[in-house]
Amino acid sequence: MLKGAIICPDQEVAERLEEPLSGTGILAVIRTIPHYPSAHELTRILRANAPQILFISIESLSRALEIITAAEEQLPGVQFIAIGRTADQQTLLEVMRSGVREFLAMPFQRQSVWDAVLRVKEVLDRKPVQMESTDLVFSFLPSKPGVGTTTIAANAAIAVSKLPDQRSLLVDLDTTSGMIRFLLQLDNGYSVLDAAARMFQMDESIWPQLITTIGHLDVLHSGHLNPDMRLEASHMNHLIEFARRNYRAVFLDLSGGFERFAVEAMHESKRIFLVVTPEVPSLHLAREKISYLRSIDLGDRIAILLNRCQKRAIVNPDQVEDLLDLPVLMTFANDYQGVHRAMTAGKAVDPGSELGQQFAQLAQYMLDKKPAAMEKKKGLSEYLSIIPSVSLFSPGKKAAN
């Protein structure tokens, strides 16, 4: 369905127009702005709502033409339908010179409104609206609970947001046991569930109330435990679409349970960071999850992050690579005290520490500024000889869908 917005200081004109528009079946009016917005306000409106059609009052022709010019620059391909009580020939000529080909005057006849919308739809079908949006969407998926996924996701997001021109968003999508609110000591009463409930009415005034801003990072936490609340896949689509338009990078912290909305989020992600630890249960479940992700055509997006590495670990990165049949992108030090200090303070891990520097490396990789992948080596037979009594290849098991 097409999305439209009405810009009209004349309340009666706007109300009279909304009635026939509501019955077209092909267009939804997502915003009605009862004044001519400033350039800054217009930018926020377009980014928040991304309308494909703007119904704009020509009550003030000069202001209408300014908005048309600005909207075309920010949202190439957006279509305009001029509206008003009446219009003289000179006004219509000026409007046509600006590129607007449709005009509707009161009283708004249903058939005339529908015909105008259908003609504009034909144009949009040939040349859709183009709006700048990022492809830097990253999902963080735990192999099992407790492997440190949230710590990595939060610190990577903070590290990216500290780089120039990298306004970022971190979303906690673990609606049963999300830790970001606790980790960063957030006191905002709104959560991702509130955002989902408002997604179809989201605008530039609602969004700032839902998020908590830390430097150049906005955070949307998962809220208090509420088993009755559910995120729908459609909500996730709209949330990510909104985030793509308004942020340079988006980080999604998942529960690992493969909820439908989480699978949808991973399909929208550039990379799926699967976090594992060098322990048998974590590696076993990681292998199961990799198999499932490959079965839904997401195998090429997986990147392995090996957390809590020690110098004399029983299982080394080479063995992890052979077991999972994927390269380990990065390893992270087992810095329990550093993580504890950061958690107590509600801040990121010390950027000067070994672990903090590793988070900075991951941030650089996410922005395609430097490679981070490790060279794959052989060692599966050695690994299997270490733990011969444990079967990691049991057939017939898949991660929960």
- Taking only the tens place, the pLDDT of each residue in 339-348 is 999 999 999 9
Confidence of residue 371 (pLDDT cuts 50, 70, 90): low
With a pLDDT cut of 90, the percent of the chain lying above it is 76
Average pLDDT value for residue range 137-146: 97
Query: Of 137-151, 172-186, 213-227, 369-383, where does mean pLDDT reach its minimum?
Result: 369-383
Give all strands of the β-sheet with 2-7 in edge-to-edge order: 27-33, 2-7, 53-57, 79-84, 103-105
Q: Give the model's pLDDT for residue 310.
A: 84
pLDDT at 154 over 80: yes
pLDDT digits (tens, 9 = 90+) for 198-226: 887 787 889 999 999 999 999 999 998 77
Confidence of residue 372 (pLDDT cuts 50, 70, 90): low
Structural domains in the chain?
A: 2-126 (3.40.50.2300), 137-386 (3.40.50.300)
Q: What is the pTM assigned to this prediction?
A: 0.80
pLDDT at 105 over 50: yes
Mean pLDDT of the chain: 89
pLDDT at 47 over 70: yes
Which residues are CB-neighbours of 304 under 8 A, at least 6 positions away? 273, 274, 276, 286, 320, 321, 324, 326, 327, 328, 329
What does the alpha-carbon distance between residue 97 and residue 215 come to, in Å, rounded to a whole number? 44
pLDDT at 320 over 70: yes
Q: Give the model's pLDDT for residue 22.
A: 87
Average pLDDT value for residue range 51-63: 96
Average pLDDT value for residue range 286-303: 97
Q: Give the model's pLDDT for residue 401.
A: 36
Q: Give the model's pLDDT for residue 197.
A: 85
pLDDT at 179 over 60: yes
Question: Residue 220: in which H helix or E strand, if any?
Answer: strand 217-220
DSSP state of 373: P
- On the 0-12 / 13-18 / 19+ scale of CB atoms within 10 A, 299 is middle
